[in-house]
Amino acid sequence: MCGIAGIVASDRLAAGDHDRLLRMRDVIAHRGPDDSGVFADDRALLGHRRLSIVDVAAGHQPLSNEDGTAWIVFNGEIYNHAEVRRTLETSGHRYKTRSDTETIVHAYEEWGDGCVDRFRGMFAFAVWDAPRRRLLLARDRLGIKPLYWARAGSRLLFASEIKAILASGLVPAEADDSALPELLGTRYLSGTETLFSGIHRLQPGHTLVFED
């Protein structure tokens, strides 16, 4: 289990967003006690809390492709990453780690959003395509790994847990009363709604793209 969080802006990040991202990342430190990291440019902040499993020594996140144009934060495991890696290396991609995380970012380079269809596993990840000012969020088909998102003006926030989004201070902790009938009737919310107004759940097997 790891934890991911991020803030992406359609124009420029605001003053104080870096501190907000640190709060978002560290309020879910229980998901990843082994390591932490941040990527930052003028449009995106990505945060990660790591539980080290694959490539313990070199699997630090956020992690980039060869030239630093695409960055990823990832929670989960790609079971067929070795198979996908062989295909990517044959196509000329150069790896610097043995981690399944790096396979995702190279697969995005090779196949774009279609990379998600190549993976077997449990995952929630975010890829920031810096030259295109484009964020891709993705979640595994069974929804084993959680992922939530919200809008705050020109910014999109995402995280592994709702409380990380609330820790940003950009989204108020207001109840969504419209979700209560389904929750009380089935003990579950089947759609994108959560119990918090303005905070959404990315559905299993879905992707979300945020771009300028």
pLDDT in tens, 152-209: 999 999 999 999 999 999 999 999 999 999 989 998 888 999 999 999 999 999 999 9
- pLDDT reported for residue 46: 98
Pairing of strands 3-9, 155-159: antiparallel
* Choice between 57 and 171, residue whose per-residue pLDDT is larger: 171
pLDDT (tens digit per residue) in 114-161: 999 999 999 999 999 999 999 999 999 999 999 999 999 999 999 999
Instruction: Kindly state the DSSP code that residue 26 receives in the 8-state scheme.
Output: H
Residues in CB range of 107: below 8 A, 6 or more apart: 84, 88, 115, 118, 119
What values do phi and psi take at 111, rounded to 5?
Answer: -120, 0
- pLDDT reported for residue 58: 58
Give the strands of the sheet with 199-201, arranged side by side: 35-40, 44-50, 3-9, 155-159, 148-152, 199-201
- pLDDT reported for residue 5: 98
Nearest CA to 156 out of 24, 3, 28 is that of: 24
pLDDT (tens digit per residue) in 63-92: 999 999 999 999 999 999 999 999 999 999
**Local confidence band at 52 (pLDDT 50, 70, 90 cut-offs):** low
What residues act catalytically? 2
- pLDDT reported for residue 188: 87
Alpha helices in 27-133 (DSSP H): 81-90, 100-111
pTM comes to: 0.94
Pairing of strands 70-78, 63-64: antiparallel
